[in-house]
Amino acid sequence: MKPLPAINLAHPGALIAAVFTPWIAAGIALLIGFFASYLTALSWADLTFVLPATAFGNVIVALLSRFWLHEPISLARWAGIALITIGVGFVAHGPSRTELPAEVNSPPEVVAR
């Protein structure tokens, strides 16, 4: 976004031009893909299964921004990431209401011929 001029709601043309910038458009497409995958995962499993997998992304984003983009990350942000990770750990150890299909739970039947 740094090469683009300042975005102002008084000039909607600049906002539309920013959305169609290749990197921004790719980011929006990836975000739509993430939400579609997340909703699909939530339709298959309980939040206690889905949340730990997605919350680990906070740690990955922080590490990539620190070592790949060389962005400074304050101690308060690292503490926030740690608190999110701990909270997800509590949710992951909670009760689950997701049930496996009957054919997975029951032993296979033996058919005599």
What pLDDT, in 10s, does the model give residues 74-92? 999 999 989 988 888 887 7
Q: For residues 54 and 32, state if they share a domain.
A: no
Does residue 21 sit in the same domain as residue 56? no
Tell me whether residue 110 is in a domain. no
* 59 and 28 in a common domain: no
- The ranges of the chain with pLDDT < 70 are 1, 94, 96-113
Given CA atoms 58, 64, 67, 71 in this order, what sign does their dihedral have?
A: negative
Domains in the chain, number: 2
User: Phi first, then psi: what are they for 97, rounded to 5°?
Assistant: -105, 0
Domain with 13, as residue range(s), is 9-44
Could you give the CA distance from residue 47 to residue 20 in angstroms, rounded to a whole number? 34
